[in-house]
Amino acid sequence: MKFPAFFSRLLAIWREDSLLRRVVRNSGYLFSSSTLGMALAIVQSVFAARLLGVAVFGLLGMVMSFATSVNRLLSFRIGELVVKYGGQYLTQGKKDRAAATVKAAALTEFSTALTAYLLLLALAPLASQYIIKDPAGTAFIRFYALALLANFATGTSTAVLQVGDHFRSQAGVGLAQSILTAGIIAYAYFTNGDIWLVLTAYLTGKVFYGFAFLTLGLWHARQMLGRGWWHASLRLLPPRREFWAFAISSNFSGTVNLVTRDSEVLWLGFLLPGETAKIAAGYYKTALAVINLILMPINPFIATTFPEITRAVAENAWDRLRSLLKRLTAISATWTISVGLFLVFAGDWLIRTVYGEQYAPATPAALIFLIGFGMANILYWNRPLLLSLGMPTYPLKVMAFAGVAKIALSFLLVPRYGYLVQAALMSAFFVVSVGLIVWKGMREITRRSHLAN
């Protein structure tokens, strides 16, 4: 196909596909914010890494990861529940039922945030002894735990904004948080601050983020659901078994993700001895920061695609859904492959130049991550698709079985071969789990399409 004809075809697709335009437009708000936010995140990561050194930078990563992990252990990923049921009810014009969904989600999120905070205070000494392996870890964890209390309704509020297509507000808050955090960390760098000041920067950003989303969520919930939405009866919720089964499966899914893929620096701290663990965590955290270059523009599509997939499934618009997934995959693949090639040829130079020579051993881990994270990035819609199809347990089972295998191999191999094996296992986990979830989702679309015809 000649280039003029190719671009004419692209332009025709853009004009004809209003759904694709809406997803890209909404993603654009978040992309603009996340692009600047990611740039600021890289700046703050570089400042913190150069200020603290590899070992203390790794310690910082373990402290923040542990606090986040305890919170996610109890989290019901409540936003997914609001998007699915609240979005469905609003599409059907049932505002009272949508209001009941938001109310139940907010109450659940508040109770889990408080429980997580108290649990974190209790577990801090154990984490300090067996994972961080530094007595100072207890005080660091308890200080950073305040972020949990400040974000007691962030998941619900974010979902309300997503359902109402208020992505511009969401983008603004994210950017403001990035500016605030990066500003404080830059101050710490130029004044030769310590880990306490760096932790304060991250905590301040989290507190701002939580209360900003709470304010926006309450404002838009009132506009979308009516002034007295908070008084909606919980009896208007979907059938109890269905509703809470979805919530619990989302929680289990979050727990599986937490244990198998999102607590890597904690596993390194547990499996490797003392100072070796901190250094390995520092390299690993740096590699993850670099790989975020691939994830940066695609992450916003996750939030904007899920509501659109849910609408298409609710309307049995299978051809429209296939077309949307195909075109979004083309967009994500183009970006992922382009940035991946840049990292292959210039990743080592980037890390040495930006982070410093002491972080050069992070380069092989970043290149290993390209395989797994690249595939997950291209097919980022895999889990939202199955959630919209009402199949939340399948991703859970796949990730659980793949995760168990990954953890077993980690215990066997990481103490002997170090953090590069951990990176390889992480990539393999993504390839297997994402591949199986996508296969199941596309097969289910075909089955339902045939039934509809």
Tens digit of pLDDT for each residue in 274-309? 789 999 999 999 999 888 777 766 666 666 677 778
Residue whose tokens read 């993504």: 430
Give dist(CA 88, CA 98) in Å, integer.
8
Average pLDDT for residues 53-69, to the nearest whole number?
91
Residues 6+ positions from 173 with CB-CB distance below 8 Å: 209, 212, 213, 216
Residue 334: is its pLDDT beyond 70?
Answer: yes
Residue 36: is its pLDDT beyond 80?
Answer: no
Residue 21: is its pLDDT beyond 80?
Answer: no
Q: What is the SS3 string spanning 218-260?
A: HHHHHHHHCCCHHHCCHHHCCCHHHHHHHHHHHHHHHHHHHHH
Tokens standing for residue 149: 């209390």
Q: Smallest Cα–Cα separation from 370: which of 410, 447, 426, 449? A: 426
Q: How many angstroms separate the Cα of 291 from the Cα of each of 281, 323, 342, 352, 382?
A: 15, 29, 11, 15, 20
Predicted pLDDT at 431: 95
Predicted pLDDT at 274: 79
The string of pLDDT tens digits covering residues 90-112 is 877 888 888 888 888 888 888 88
Domains of the chain by residue range: 3-452
Predicted pLDDT at 167: 66
Q: How many angstroms separate the Cα of 399 from the Cα of each of 218, 389, 437?
A: 34, 18, 9
Cβ atoms within 10 A of the Cβ of 94, count? 15
Give dist(CA 198, CA 64) in Å, integer.
11
Predicted pLDDT at 13: 52
Element at 432 (helix H, strand E): helix 419-452
Predicted pLDDT at 3: 44
pLDDT tier for residue 15 given thresholds of 50, 70 and 90? low
